Amino acid sequence: MQPGQKKRVFLYAGIGFVAVGIASIVLTYMFIYEPLRNETAVQDTRFNLKEIHSVPLARHDHVSLVLLVNGQQVVIPEGIGMNPQLWHDHSLDQYGPSGISPMHTHDTSGTIHIESTVAREYTLGEFLKVAGISTDNITRTTVDGNELVDIQNHAMKNGEKLRVEFSE
């Protein structure tokens, strides 16, 4: 091989490697990075948390809820009153920031967020309807350790701890 031909081969090989590198970067961006970025954006807007904090609220309280089925604690889902699959009753929608129920969960901690544009009471029964939880099999309910008799009409208060026991 002539010295000039060697230079050309190395030049073409170098150009080929650069082209493959650029193509790899473009394909990685198109098929990996961009879909992940879009998925995150969808998740952020699904719960519309920016909307909650941009609207003046007449009430912003937190209530702790523990659910037990046959004595075993169950995880309270993230997105009750925000995620369409976990938002069963829309009768209170007019009192919440646009796109969410005034009673909802942000995560699986068991915290019920009461974030309302209107100063009104919200009951445990109303939250259970939003969550799609039937009261038929409730065996015991306590508020801050005290027995609760009227589950449906119990007006939830900021900072209280609810415990609802079910049997299957």
* Domain identity same for 73 and 43: no
The residue out of 11, 29, 47 marking a domain boundary is: 47
pTM greater than 0.75: no
* Structural domains counted in the chain: 2
Position 90 scores a pLDDT of: 96
Please give the structure tokens belonging to residue 8.
């050309």
3-state per-residue secondary structure call for the chain? CCHHHHHHHHHHHHHHHHHHHHHHHHHHHHHHHHHHHHHHHHHHHHHCHHHHHHCCCCEEEEEEEEEEECCEEECCCCCCCCCHHHCCCCCCHHHCCCCCCCEECCCCCCEEEEEECCCCCCEHHHHHHHHCCCCCCEEEEEECCEECCCCCCCECCCCCEEEEEECC
Residues 60 and 36 in one domain: no
**Side chain identity, residue 150:** D
Domain of 72, CATH number, reads 3.10.20
Tokens of 146: 């005290």
Residues 153 and 86 in one domain: yes
Which tokens is 133 given? Answer: 């939880």
Q: Which two tokens stand for residue 119?
A: 């100063």
The domain in which residue 9 lies consists of: 1-47
pLDDT in tens, the chain (168 residues): 666 777 777 777 778 777 776 766 665 555 554 544 444 433 443 555 665 667 889 999 999 999 999 999 999 999 999 999 999 999 999 999 888 999 999 999 999 999 999 999 999 999 999 999 999 999 999 999 999 999 999 999 999 999 999 988
Pick from 60, 84, 74: nearest CA to 164: 74
Do 81 and 32 share a structural domain?
no
Residues 92 and 147 both lie in one domain = yes
Here the tokens at position 84 are 């369409």
Q: Do residues 38 and 82 both lie within one domain?
A: no
pLDDT score, position 165 = 95
Instruction: For residues 83 and 160, state if they share a domain.
Output: yes
- 1 and 34 share one domain: yes
